[in-house]
Structure 1
Amino acid sequence: MTYWQAIILAIVEGITEFLPVSSTGHMIIASSFMGISHLEFTKMFTVNIQFGAILSVLVLYRRRFLQTRDFYYKLFVAFLPAAVIGFLLNDLIDALLENVVVVAISLLVGGIILVFIDKIAQEYPKDRDVSYPEALKIGFYQCIAMIPGVSRSAATIIGGMFQGLSRKQAAEFSFFLAVPTMAAAAGYKFLKTYQTIQAGDIQVLLIGNLVAFIVAMLAIRFFINFLTRYGFKLFGYYRIILGLILLGLLASGYELDIV
């Protein structure tokens, strides 16, 4: 992987990680078009640069993370389903990461849901505390995002809105939940593959995390402002268009670099 390829993937990660459009799906697409999706280092890189995105949440919401232990207990409860299911189905998840058809269908179906989510999910006009049962339910919604193309952000935000949270509160809880979830996924992947990392790969990882951190900071600020004003419909249309384009390319015989 070259430095430019790493920067492009990091920009894609930073922009899409906290938007309901599937960062994993976009990185699979981007790495496929660049011809590097089959490399083992690419698979590790796309997970590892989530550390940079995580850091952006900690910086932007640093005051929110200096709260009572109850805040962390609820995050832990919401994190548990993904931790257990992710560990048990790790090999299956890795196999799905190599399937662009799954990504395309997930983008399409998720887009249709986002177009109508503002009408079918009733939200409270004011923010309130998330209960433990609600946190657990949102955690199970997060597990759906183990299917590439679904979007962890979309799944957890939709889960939050179905619990009656406002758009903003559901989005912010999704950001907070991303910290333990992504840290665990990135850390586990790193421990499994660190022995294969070459000396030059460290610099690529550092650059990728730095770029992902900066871009994610900007993306989060944009998303919260856009979401509170306009809702999810435009993100839904974007997902539908992208999913249809991918399915059209695959149906026409266009071969993406997937092994």
Structure 2
Amino acid sequence: MDILLLIKAAIMGIVEGIAEFLPISSTGYLILSGDVLDFWTKNKRDLFIVFIQLGAILAVIYDYWGRLWNAFVGLLTGKAAGLENPRGLGIALIVATLPVMVVGFLLADFITSSLFHPLVVAAMLIIGALLIMYVEKNPKPAKYAEAENISLKTALLIGLCQCLALIPGMSRSGSTIIGALWLGTSRKAATEFSFFLGIPVIVGAALLDLLGKKDVLQTSEDWAVLGVGTLVSFVVALLCIRLMVAWVSKKDFMIFAWLRIATGVVVLLAYFVFGYQIQG
């Protein structure tokens, strides 16, 4: 068993667990981290980067199990304790998921072949930062205090914002949270709706990628590496979810905007000065 490889997998899991729910692009940071660590072969790394996001989203399911189960029961039966509109959250999540499924299906090959480039990642990190700054400087009154109250129209628009996350470096959490804030949700509702919205998208992507590329995992060590990364991402994400909700109730996202800009500048310097090319 290659202990160094397992340590690298754990480091990647930490990066995923921290970055998944922050508006900074977990995929972008995983790609960059994988390159810095010289982690695994390309095919295995590609699968790893997609699949370990499942660990982070399982943390959401674990932490919000009661509300998610209530929404699921409400969707099926039209009855759920304490909800004025029992089917509201379930239908809103379905509506918000549809755009990224359609766009992702139509443009998957183009995104993989044309957009995994340092200049794209750097540009999207910086553009996303500017969007965060704009929305934070121009706040909208909150119409929706809780994720369960978000209207179908607003859910659809948040879903369209999520499509931006198909571009490497943009960030799924960033696109959905900032989009939701701009559309009039409270900070807490925007963050939690983004958490919930990640469940069908990330679970679906992880399982489909595993089914399509499982042949690249040829040994028990390969599966162990994938398992370590996923487990670490679950544990770290579980801690970050609670910290994130506590943060947004008191703070804004400006620190993450500056972090995105700093990272984008580093990627640009690495590209133009050292000829850096994305390997993952």
* Residue range with higher mean Cα deviation, 75-84 or 116-125: 116-125
TM superposition shift of 1:258: 2.3
CA distance 1:155–1:30, shift in 2 (3 Å): same
- Do structure 1's residue 24 and structure 2's residue 8 form an aligned pair? no
- Tell me the percent identity: 38
Match of 1:63 in 2: 66
CA RMSD of aligned residues (A): 1.7
Question: Which residue identity does 1:50 align to in structure 2?
Answer: Q
In structure 1, which of residues 164, 167, 192 is the aligned counterpart of residue 184 of structure 2?
Answer: 164
Contact 1:78 1:136 in 2 (8 A): yes
Match of 2:82 in 1: none
Give secondary structure in 1 for the equivalent of 2:274: coil
CA distance 1:22–1:37, shift in 2 (3 Å): farther
Figure out how many residues of one structure are paired with residues of the other and give that number.
259
CA distance 1:247–1:38, shift in 2 (3 Å): farther
- Structure 1: give runs of 5+ residues left out of the alignment: none
Question: Which residue identity does 2:121 align to in structure 1?
Answer: V
1:145-190: CA deviation from partner (whole Å, max 9, x where unpaired)? 0001100001001121122001110010000000001011111111
Match of 1:210 in 2: 231
CA distance 1:22–1:257, shift in 2 (3 Å): closer
Question: Which residue identity does 2:98 align to in structure 1?
Answer: L
Question: Which residue identity does 1:29 align to in structure 2?
Answer: L
4+ runs deviating over 3 angstroms: none
Match of 1:117 in 2: 135
TM superposition shift of 1:197: 1.4
Between the aligned partners of 1:33 and 1:256, the Cα distance in structure 2 is 11
Contact 1:98 1:258 in 2 (8 A): no
TM superposition shift of 1:217: 0.8
- TM score, norm. by length of structure 1: 0.94
Give secondary structure in 2 for the equivalent of 1:12: helix
In structure 2, which of residues 205, 219, 224 is the aligned counterpart of residue 185 of structure 1?
Answer: 205
Larger Rg: 2
Between the aligned partners of 1:201 and 1:96, the Cα distance in structure 2 is 28
Question: Which residue identity does 1:136 align to in structure 2?
Answer: L
Match of 2:243 in 1: 222
CA distance 1:37–1:132, shift in 2 (3 Å): farther
Contact 1:117 1:232 in 2 (8 A): no
Give secondary structure in 1 for the equivalent of 2:68: coil
- Structure 2: give runs of 5+ residues left out of the alignment: 76-86
- TM score, norm. by length of structure 2: 0.87
In structure 2, which of residues 135, 160, 169 is the aligned counterpart of residue 140 of structure 1?
Answer: 160
TM superposition shift of 1:230: 1.4
Give secondary structure in 2 for the equivalent of 1:65: helix
Match of 2:51 in 1: 48
Contact 2:21 2:240 in 1 (8 A): yes
